[in-house]
Structures are given as structure tokens and as C-alpha cells.
Structure 1
């Protein structure tokens, strides 16, 4: 028993577990809306778009998180602008923004070699965060969570039907801008947890898993947040015993849960679909 409780005796492990759980929960909250709108790859684009911000922050002597947030915000604003004005499909816009920002970041990093390891940016290192980083991540998480809890219904209406949202007095443009600001902030937070390459899992997998389990959006949000929070906490906890990358373990746990749900979900799982197909075939034969 004492061995199982050992991670809680170390301050850095306690911080890692609770901060991972908070960041995982907020990212999962946002993933519900990305699934609803079909914008899953936007999280991937934003996670790679923070690289020039990190490089620019190093050049200017600013905090890396600030540079990453500004860069992610600019990428999100560019995606919104192009989607509203260009008439291009979302996947094309994501591809343009993703490659442009990531290419710029690699160029800046090559001409101004950074003291911070590229591996730290791409893979994350939640176990090595400082008390200042912990406070920053907690602040991002709690502020984002508070705004989402306050505006979740308005965001739901906007993501379902923008025309209806306008007819009842909501401002879709402003609400989408707020959503992308929160997404950018949480991508920056998750980048320190699982790294830029695995952020996409944090903002897609919980929502995708909950989508297979729930038919009502409110339940989808609760289920998604529960999955994101628990897997992030358990992943950080298990990483102590496995001596492995915390971000990788968190993503593996979320993927395993998704695969189990994909197969055994009562309504939308693979086995349920086969059962329905067999019943339909039997009905046709009986007729």
C-alpha cells in the first residue's frame, strides 16, 4: 500500500497529477465542441502553430507561454478570417495555416538556435514544471473552465446553428473568437503536459469517445471531461512507476478507452452495429 501512495509523497508528482487532470479536463470540454462542429484537426493545427511563438519569445526574451499563446491566437484568427471570407473548405484552411506557421517556426529556430530543447516543446515535460509554471497552468485551466461553464449553452447554440444563434440575439463571431482564445490557451497548457505533437489527442480523443456513448450534448460534455480528467491524472500517476513519458502514457490510456468504447458501446459500437444489421436481416427474411 505504501508503494502505491509513494507518488503522493513527492511535490513534483502531486503537482504533475493535479495539473494534468485540470488541463486534461478543460481540453476535453473543448473537444466536445470540436467534435460537434467537425473541427477536430484545428487542435492539431494550433498545436503546431505555437512553434514560431516559442521561437519569437526566446529571441525577444519573453516567457515561452506568452509567445505560444500569441502565435496560437494569430493562427486561430487567421483560420476564422479565411473560413468566413475565402470560401475554402476547412481542411484546406487548416493545411495552409498549419504548414505556414510550422514552417516559420522551424526557420526562426534554425537561424536563432534556442536554449530550450525542441524535444521539450514537441514532447512536453510535466514533471519538470516550475512552481511558476504550475501557477500559470492552474490559472489558464480555472479561467477557461469558468468561461466554459458560464457560456456552454451559448456556444452549443452557435456551433449547432449560427443563424438561429443570431435570431435569438447571440453574437456568433464573438463567441467563436472567445472559443478559439480558450482553445489556444489550453493548447499552450497541454503543450507543457504532452507536447505539441500529442496535443491533438487531448482535444480530440475524449470528445470522440464520449460521442460514441452519448446522444445528448450535455452528457457528452460531462463524459468527455470525466475521461480527460481521469486519464490525465492516472497517466501522470502511472508514469512514476513505469518511468516513461507522461504525455505518451496519457494519450495511450485515452486511446485504449476509445478503442474499448468503439467496440462495446451499447448504441454506436462496432458490436452493436453488427447486432442491428443481423436483426434487420432477420426481419427481412421473416417478411
Structure 2
């Protein structure tokens, strides 16, 4: 235990803990809206679709965040465009679009000499975060968090009933594309710390776990953030203790939290049924 405490006196592990917190809060809040709106696969799609944007931005000498955000929005807009003009369901369209864009990223990556490491893009490098990474993640996370907290009622009504949202005078199109923009920005902020795989888990698991345990949206957001924070911080600490990779360890903890919530909800439903 003393060795573990001493390890976290190292600056790079302190940065890893801070990065985990900065990523966990906005992704957990956003996951609540994605789960309620049925957009969990959209988070998966946009997370994978940023890959070619990252490679193209590196080739053009642009900030990687610019390429990632552009590619993420392109994926989201392409999904909506194809869905509105065909009989194919949205989940099918998202599967085709994100797999195609991710494959494009892999082809581009294999054709250029780049300092980018594929493992860092897929799994993040939370133990290698620099001050610039933390600032970028923190600023994006703060902006996303403030917008979601300020407009959560509008986004919630849009998630449940877009027709009612339009009837009461809300700008449904702005809410729709605004949520997509927040999703893309959140993934960009999480990319350096979390990578593609962990970003997907953070955008789905906390909200899904909280959905099973709560009955109000306010409580759902609180529980979602708590699950993400405990899993992220615990995953970093446990990865040091076990000498494992942080990102997969965090994902395993979130998966365990979801499994526990599912078991609790199932047992509760059986008890109520028996009564």
C-alpha cells in the first residue's frame, strides 16, 4: 500500500488521475442523453470516425483536434443525410459510415510515415498526458458540461419527444445538431487521454448503469457521473497496482458496475413481481 501511495507522488500519475476526472464528467453527462435518445451507437460511430481526421490533420500540419472534430461531425451529418434519404434504419447507416471511415483511417495510417502511435489513438495514453493535453481536455470538458447543465431540460424533451419539443417552440434542428457537436467535441477532448475504445465506454456505460438504478433524470446524471469518476480513478489506481493498461482497466470497472446494476434491477423486479 505504501508503495502504491508513493507511486502517485510521481507527476505523470497525478496527471493521469486529473485527466481521468476531466474526461469522466462531460462524457458521463452526455451518456445520459445518448442512452435516453437511443444514440449509444452514435457515440461509437463518431469515436471511430475521428481516426481519419486525426491522420489527415497530422499530414496537413493542423492541430489533431481540428481534424478529429471535423471527421466526427462529418460522420454524424453523413449518417443523418443517408437516413433521411433512404429506407435503411439509422443503426445500419451508422454501422456502415463509421466502419468505412475507420477503415479509411487505417489505410491512411498505413500509407504515411507518422509519429502517431496507433495504440495511443485506440487506447489513449493517460499516463503520458502533458500539460497541453490537460488544458485542452479541461477546457472542452468545461464548455460541454456547462452547456449540458444549462440546457438539459431542452435536450431531455428533445430526446423523449421531438414533436412536443417543436410544438412548445424549441428549435429542434439546433438541439439535434448541437448535441452532435457536443458529442464530437467531447470525443476530441477525451481522445488523448481515453482513446477511441475508452471514449466509447465512457459515452455508454455510465448512463446505462445510472438508467438501471434511478427513476429521475437528475438522479440519473448524478449517478452517471459518480460511476464514471469512481471507475476512472479506480481504474488508474488499479492499473498501477496490477501493472496493467489503464484504459482497459477502467472499462472493466465500468462493465462490472453495469453488471451489478443489472443484477440489482433484475432482483428488484422479481421481488416486486412476487409481491
TM-score category by the smaller chain?
Answer: over 0.9
1:255 corresponds to which residue? 255
Given that residues 49 and 71 in structure 1 are in contact (C-alpha distance below 8 angstroms), is that contact kept between their aligned partners in structure 2? yes
Q: Deviations over 1:122-176 (max 9, x none)?
A: 1111111221111111111111111111111110011111111111111111112
For 1:194 and 1:135, locate their aligned partners in 2 and report how far apart those are by CA, in whole Å: 15
- The DSSP-based 3-state class of the residue aligned with 2:151 is helix
- Give the structure 1 partner of residue 198 of structure 2: 198
**Aligned ranges for residues 271-282 of structure 1 at < 5 Å?**
271-279=267-275
Given that 1:21 and 1:233 are in contact with CA atoms closer than 8 Å, whether structure 2 keeps it comes out as yes
Instruction: Give the Å deviation of 1:15.
Output: 1.7
- The aligned residue for residue 93 of structure 1 is 93
Q: 1:104 to 1:271 in 2, by over 3 A?
A: same
Matched, 1:64 2:60: no
Pairs within 5 Å for 1:62-211: 62-211=62-211
Deviation at 1:103, TM superposition (A): 1.9
CA distance in 1, matches of 2:19, 2:65: 16
Q: 1:115 Cα shift?
A: 2.0
Backbone CA RMSD of aligned residues: 1.7
- TM score, norm. by length of structure 1: 0.90
- Whether contact under 8 Å (2:231, 2:253) holds in the other structure is yes
2: CA distance, partners of 1:277 / 1:214: 19
Distance of 1:7 and 1:183 partners within structure 2: 34
Q: Cα offset for 1:277?
A: 4.0
- On the 8 A contact 1:7/1:14 being kept in 2, the answer is no
Which whole-Å CA distance do the structure 2 matches of 1:258 and 1:194 have between them?
A: 19
- The structure that has the greater radius of gyration is 1
Please report the TM-score for the alignment, with normalisation by the length of structure 2: 0.94
The runs of 5 or more residues in structure 2 that have no matched partner are none
- What stretches of structure 1 of length at least 5 have no aligned partner? 280-287
Tell me the distance in 2 between the aligned counterparts of 1:119 and 1:175. 34
